[in-house]
Each structure stands twice: as C-alpha cells, then as structure tokens.
Structure 1
Amino acid sequence: TDDGGKTWKPINRGLHSQFLPDPTAEVGHCVHRIAFHPSCPNTLFMQKHWDVMRSDNAGDSWQEVSGNLPTDFGFPIDVHAHEPETIYVVPIKSDSEHYPLKGRLRVYRSRAGGNEWESLTKGLPQRNCYVNVLRDAMSVDSLEPCGIYFGTTGGQVYASADSGDRWKAIVHDLPPVLSVEVQTLT
C-alpha cells in the first residue's frame, strides 16, 4: 500500500516458491520478515521460505541474494543502523528442522546487500545448540557501533555491541523468546 492502507497490491514479482502449485504466483509466498534502512526506503530485504531476497524498487521486483549462505532458510532479517547495505540473518537447517546447521549458532552478515556473507560466531554456542531465532526475535539499536540483539526459542538473549563481531549471552532461562525490541536512550 502507498495510501495508508486504503488499497493494496501484491508486490511479488521475482519471488519463486517451489512448494506452490505455481512457483511464480503473484500471491501465496511465505514471507518471514522484511527489513529496510530508513535512509533507503526503496531498498527492501526479505527472508522468506527458502530464500533471502532484495528489492531496489520498493518491492516491484525481487532478486535472490542468498549467495554463499549455508542454507537460505531462516526467519529474522535486519539492517545495520548506519550501513544500509549491511544485513543480518540467522540461517537454520530447514522448514522441518528449526535449528542451526550441525548445532552451531551463527549469525551471517553481508556488507554488500546480500550474495557475499560472513559467519559471525565469536561468543555464540558452537556445539549442541538446537534452538531457533524467530522472525521478530532480532533487532538493532542506533548506537555507533551498532548493537544487535536476538533471542532464541531456548530462552537466551544474545547481544553484540560491535556490529556482530562478538556476541555475549545477556539473558538465560527465559521462556521461548518470540520478539526482541530495542530502544536507544540518549
């Protein structure tokens, strides 16, 4: 919608979903999350069922930017507060196995708006970690450097105060974390 919700139109050109009877249908795709940077509102990033996508025209068309991710299934996606081409995702094994590959929790960062991804693991569990990060369970703050936070279905909340380079568990033993919101106080 571009009129405050009075009218709506599908903006799915370029999306492909193998599980649909018509994989390129105008509607029916399983969108997990869409994110954008306020300084570039026409550039959208989407984590959907099996793909990470990008649109440079406010959703009129989409291109896959999963690139070298180990799997392109996941739920959250977020954009760095000061770098509109830096995005974060948390890949999980599959739509039927909602945990990180090989039980190693990893956040992936692309500094080029997708396709080229780096694994961020410092401070995250790398053995026997069978949790998920849900679509609304990742958030960024507006500090410099940018802080990133996410919660897991295992009840942990992790934080990075350096744009994802290092992580620390800041909360343990919560119920499954469904949503994480950040408020920067100045």
Structure 2
Amino acid sequence: SASAYGAITLQECTFPGTGESGFIVVKPDDSDIVYIGAVGSSPGGEGALQHYNHKTKQLRLVNIWPEEKYGWAPKDLKYRFSWTFPIAFSPHDSGTVYACGNHVFRTKNEGHSWDTISPDLTRADESKLGVSGGLTIDSSGAEHYASISTFAESPHRSGIFWTGSDDGLVHTSRDDGKTWQNITPPDLPEWSYIFCIEVSVHAPETIFLSATRYKLNDYRPLLYKSIDGGNNWHSINGDYPENEISRVIREDPTCPGLLFVGSETGIFMSTNSGKNWQKLGGNFPVVPVYDLKIKADDLVVGTHGRSFWILD
C-alpha cells in the first residue's frame, strides 16, 4: 500500500457502487468507467447492475430487467441471477459488455438496453426453484439457483462463447449467440457448480474447466481440459489431492501448460497441463482462493478473508 497509514483506510477509498459481493469490471481502454454487480443492498431488483463514471461521479442503474425479487421464488421471476453473476467486457470491443443470469445478455450502449443472446442455459429444474430457507424464508435472493456462474468469450475470435451454470451444465456458441450446444463433460457429476472456464491464449480451441461439489459434501477436485473447444474433455486431476476442492483455474499467458488452481486452502500449480500438481507454500496462508489473475510476471490472488496477494 502507498498509504501513509500502512493499510488502506476507509478515508482513502471511493465508493463506485452501492451493493455487496458482486463482480466489478473496469473498461479496458477507459479506467474511469466501471460496472458493478450490485446485488444485495442495492436498489434495482433482480440482477442489480450499476455503471459508474469516475470523472463525472455519476452512478446509473443499468439493470437488465428491473424486477423486484425479494420474497419471490426464482421460478416466478422472468430471469434468475445469482448473488455474484458474471460480468465481462468483450476482448474484441470495449463497447460491448456481457452479463449473465440464466441467459446471456449483451449491451453495446453502456446498459441503456440489453439483448438476450441465449436461451436458458441451466437445468431449470422447478423442484429446485422454490423459495429457500427454513423457519425464516430467504428474501434476499442470495440462494437463487439455476443460473450461469461463469462466462468466457474467445480472445482469438469474437462471437465464440462458453458458459457454465451453477447446476452443472456447460454450453458453447460459435455464431455470436444465434445457436448454443450443450458440451457438458459426460463424466461430470450432476449438479456440479461450474466455477471457472478458462480459454487458453496459446491455442484457440483449448479450454480449461474447474468445478466443485462441496455444497453436496463431495470434496473431490473436478478439473478438465479440452483441445477442441469442448466437444471432448479429459480430466486433468492428475495427482491433485483427492479431498481438495477446485475453484478457479488459470493458465499462464506466456508459458503453455503452466496452470494455477485456487482451492479451499491455497493455490496449486502444474507445469505440465495437469499431469502433476504441487501446492504453493512460502508465506501464503491457508485460505480459500476465489480468483486468480496473471498480469505480466505477477500472479494476483483474491482470497476469502485474507485480502489480495501477489506472487512476483
């Protein structure tokens, strides 16, 4: 931190959004423009999404469908959004933004209007789309199910997409969203949570997938690789520990086959595309790792409860 106080204090922070726990994406060619997934304390109803301009200090609600969700069963809503729904800029056009509920949505005018470019890409099992909770019913939408949990557009060619859902389906479109195919790995257990799809920058048809089933008391890692865009998959669990869940997976952009996986207790690394894995040690704590990014020679780590870390 460059703060005079060591830690970054509240007084040194700005507040571009009003929600809690959602994803934040910054426009690649204009860092003043930020989109905030503002589910929680934000106004705006289901799939609350905000657009913030640092220059003008203006905050706008740009919801895909501003429907009140509190107290409603997911099956009764027009669209379903998870608490942390995916938001992404197109790697080919910084004016194009994607957001995902149970469908994929796209805007090319900063959220003034949204196009639906996919059908429902989940199992949409109505038996799992009722109100949740026990004696006290969940009214916040935190437990909404059957929605897209990860989204990726090919960095090699625009209009090629992959999605994974929180109820265990993987889909792809190769024609800018006109048609979609179910490419779920045949041996992936039902109801797995698809946590991350990573498209290799080294080979256009190589993709990596990580999933988890810890909410079903199944702590096995679920790591896959495809070299044909998802038509065929093979496991890359290798010697990854059997009871260590797999969340996010990333490939090094300069070294093909160098993989990193964020788990419940830290980071695992493979130098041979998943045949063998080793845990990164040093002074990194035992902590859940929810996201990884690689910038130049730095591995940037987002943890649950222990801040950001950078491995140089």
Q: TM-score band (shorter)?
A: 0.7 to 0.9
* Residue aligning to 1:131: 245
Distance in 2, matches of 1:35 and 1:13, equals 16
Paired residue for 1:9? Answer: 115
How does the TM-score come out when normalised to structure 2? 0.48
1:69 paired residue number: 187
**Number of residue pairs matched by the alignment:** 171
8 Å CA contact retained: 2:154, 2:160? yes
Q: Determine which of 239, 257, 260 is the counterpart of 1:149.
A: 260
Q: Residue 150 of structure 1 aligns to which amino acid in structure 2?
A: V
Unpaired runs of 5+ residues, structure 1, are none
Larger CA Rg, structure 1 vs 2 = 2
For residue 154 of structure 2, what is the aligned residue in structure 1?
A: 37
Long gaps (5+) in structure 2: 1-106, 130-144, 299-312
Q: Please give the secondary structure, in 2, of the residue aligned with 1:182.
A: strand
Indicate the SS of the match to 1:13.
coil
Query: Cα gap change, 1:116/1:6 in structure 2, threshold over 3 Å: closer, same or farther?
Result: same
Residues 83, 98 of structure 1: alpha-carbon distance in 2 compared, 3 angstrom cutoff: farther
**Matching residue of 1:181:** 293
Q: Which digits, 9 at most, give the CA deviation of each residue in 1:32-70, with x for residues without a partner?
A: 101133112211111112201101123333211014233
Q: How does 1:14-163 map to 2 (within 5 A)?
A: 15-20=121-126, 29-48=146-165, 49-71=167-189, 73=192, 74-93=194-213, 96-97=215-216, 99-100=218-219, 103=220, 105-126=221-242, 129-133=243-247, 137-153=248-264, 155-163=265-273
Greater relative contact order, per chain length (Cα 8 Å cut-off, separation 6+): 1
TM-score normalised by the chain length of structure 1: 0.76
Matched residues in 2 for 1:98 and 1:91: separation? 14
1:157 deviation in Å?
Answer: 0.3
User: What is the DSSP-based 3-state SS (H/G/I as helix, E as strand, rest coil) of the residue aligned with 1:181?
Assistant: strand
Percent identity, please.
22
Q: Which has the higher strand share?
A: 2
Q: Give the CA RMSD over aligned residues.
A: 2.8
| Superimposed CA distance per residue, residues 116-162 of structure 1 (whole angstroms, 9 cap, x where no aligned partner) | 11111233113xx15351xxx33222113242212112x22012233
